[in-house]
């Protein structure tokens, strides 16, 4: 009798990520989108002031930022699958708790934990995709992931608004719980575990995060600064468009129409952007994205009517659409195999810090000068990031790896 070896896995296909990554991401994003516009309204129902309700919304992002680094360590120690399943399940449980909370303080604490669950989900999902996807297909795989996530956050608010209007605001949290549990179950069934690299990481945690930072300091000081610039531009786009539209006398309906068209154009470009990353290189997506976003912000202060405002909004939509998944792709490419989870936790922390810093910079400059000057300063930061990426960040597309 002869022993037969188990069949070797076939070549990787992006289609293989549908049940393990893309569909769970869509469910999770729908749930997230369903509660984001509901959270401040729910807080107001519980007696919070407008300022406190806004603070509770921000607490979620703070929870994500605080747990980015710990989630990377957990991924390295326990593996991608466990962290993804636990993170989505945690968000589902917290959503149920939030729906039942009668105190603003309890609600705020639960929203903070919800942000932490999001951090675990983000880091573990990126670690898994970067592990199973060949480098020459990562751009498409991760740009599709970004597109699926955006589609979910488009559907989610519609669902949340419908449920909140007909069944009470707490029903949006129940929808998030159902979506989170569905995502968790799909990943538990379809994500393979443990992987070889997870086993490697589990045995090489000596030195920990500090050693990894020292080893990766050149990448973090070049590519990390580029990521901060890009994330700042992406976030301030969401600030500038409504505020500048209001400052030039446009109505809410006009601003909403233009913003929606810009977002639609942005979302429609995710696959071509991924193809560019995998065919020509990461820089050919990241640098044009930074430049186009910066040009849009430079032109924004000279617009004074609906058509000029619409043109700038479309430029910003194209700029953002040129780079979906670029931050995740660079993180996956740069992550060392034996400390992937820790590196990606730090990478997410840098990315989230840029996202949080963008609106803060706008607020500070607009407070002491003007909104137009804030747009120009942010555009200069973006152009600086484009030069830094082109000149200092190594191209990570290496075929045949």
User: How far, in Å, CA of 77 to CA of 339, rounded?
Assistant: 10
Q: How much is the mean pLDDT over the chain?
A: 85
User: How far, in Å, CA of 289 to CA of 307, rounded?
Assistant: 23
- Could you give the angle at which helices 38-45 and 138-167 cross, rounded to 10 degrees? 30
For 5-14, 27-36, 186-195, 270-279, which range has the lowest pLDDT when averaged over its residues? 5-14
Q: Quick check: 344 and 251 in contact, CB under 8 A? A: no
Q: What is the mean pLDDT of residues 380-398?
A: 92
Tokens of 171: 């029903």
Q: What is the mean pLDDT of residues 277-304?
A: 94
Q: What is the mean pLDDT of residues 67-89?
A: 86
Domain boundaries, the chain: 15-188, 211-392
pLDDT of residue 207: 52
Q: What is the DSSP string of 347-377?
A: HHHHHHHHHHHHHHHHHHHHHHS-HHHHHHH
Q: Shortest CA distance to 290 belongs to which of 221, 365, 397, 384?
A: 384
Q: Is the pLDDT of residue 263 over 70?
A: yes
The reply to whether 211-392 shares the fold of 15-188 is yes
Q: How confident is residue 9, by pLDDT bands cut at 50, 70 and 90?
A: low
pLDDT of residue 155: 86
Q: What is the mean pLDDT of residues 346-350?
A: 91
Helical residues (DSSP H) of 248-370, grouped into ranges = 252-268, 270-279, 283-299, 306-321, 326-334, 340-368
Q: Is the pLDDT of residue 252 over 90?
A: no
pLDDT of residue 10: 61
Which is more confident, 292 or 206? 292
pLDDT of residue 197: 43
Q: How confident is residue 4, by pLDDT bands cut at 50, 70 and 90?
A: very low
- Could you give the angle at which helices 80-100 and 23-35 cross, rounded to 10 degrees? 30
pLDDT of residue 7: 43
Class of the CATH-defined domain 15-188: mainly alpha
Check if CATH label 1.20.1250.20 holds for domain 211-392: yes
User: How far, in Å, CA of 133 to CA of 383, rounded?
Assistant: 31
Q: What is the DSSP string of 19-72?
A: IIIIHHHHHHHHHHHHHTTHHHHHHHHTT--HHHHHHHHHHHHHHHHHHHHHHH
User: How far, in Å, CA of 181 to CA of 175, rounded?
Assistant: 10
Cis upstream peptide for 194 (omega within 30°) = yes
Q: How confident is residue 389, by pLDDT bands cut at 50, 70 and 90?
A: very high
User: How far, in Å, CA of 32 to CA of 51, rounded?
Assistant: 22
pLDDT of residue 193: 62
User: How far, in Å, CA of 235 to CA of 302, rounded?
Assistant: 21
């Amino acid at each position: 009798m002869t022993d037969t070896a188990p069949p070797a896995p076939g070549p990787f296909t992006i289609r293989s990520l549908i049940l393990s990554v893309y569909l769970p991401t869509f469910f999770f994003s729908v749930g997230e989108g369903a509660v984001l516009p509901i959270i401040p309204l729910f807080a107001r129902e519980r007696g919070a002031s407008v300022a406190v309700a806004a603070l509770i919304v921000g607490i979620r992002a703070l929870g994500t930022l605080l747990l980015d680094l710990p989630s990377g360590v957990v991924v390295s120690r326990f593996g991608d699958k466990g962290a993804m399943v636990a993170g989505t399940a945690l968000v589902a449980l917290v959503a149920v708790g939030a729906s039942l909370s009668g105190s603003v303080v309890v609600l705020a604490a639960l929203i903070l934990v919800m942000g932490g669950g999001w951090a675990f989900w983000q880091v573990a999902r990126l670690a898994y995709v970067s592990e199973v996807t060949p480098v020459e297909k990562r751009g498409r795989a991760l740009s599709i992931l970004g597109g699926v996530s955006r589609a979910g956050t488009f559907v989610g608010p519609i669902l949340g608004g419908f449920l909140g209007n007909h069944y009470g605001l707490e029903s949006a949290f129940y929808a998030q719980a159902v979506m989170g549990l569905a995502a968790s179950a799909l990943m538990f069934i379809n994500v393979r575990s443990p992987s070889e690299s997870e086993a490697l990481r589990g045995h090489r945690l000596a030195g920990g995060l500090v050693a990894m930072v020292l080893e990766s300091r050149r990448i973090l000081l070049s590519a990390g600064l580029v990521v901060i610039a890009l994330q700042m531009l992406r976030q301030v786009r969401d600030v500038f468009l409504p505020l500048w539209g209001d400052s030039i006398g446009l109505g809410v309906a006009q601003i909403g129409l233009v913003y929606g068209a810009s977002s639609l154009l942005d979302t429609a470009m995710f696959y071509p952007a991924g193809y560019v990353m995998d065919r020509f290189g990461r820089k050919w997506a990241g640098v044009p994205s930074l430049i186009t976003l910066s040009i849009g912000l430079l032109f924004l202060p000279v617009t004074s009517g609906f058509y000029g405002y619409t043109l700038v909004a479309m430029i910003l939509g194209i700029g953002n659409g040129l780079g979906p998944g670029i931050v995740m792709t660079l993180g996956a490419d740069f992550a060392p195999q034996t400390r992937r989870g820790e590196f990606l936790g730090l990478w997410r922390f840098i990315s989230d810090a840029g996202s949080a810093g963008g609106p803060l910079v706008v607020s500070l400059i607009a407070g002491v000068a003007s909104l137009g000057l804030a747009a120009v300063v942010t555009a200069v930061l973006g152009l600086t990031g484009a030069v830094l990426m082109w000149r200092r960040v190594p191209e990570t597309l290496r075929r045949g790896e």
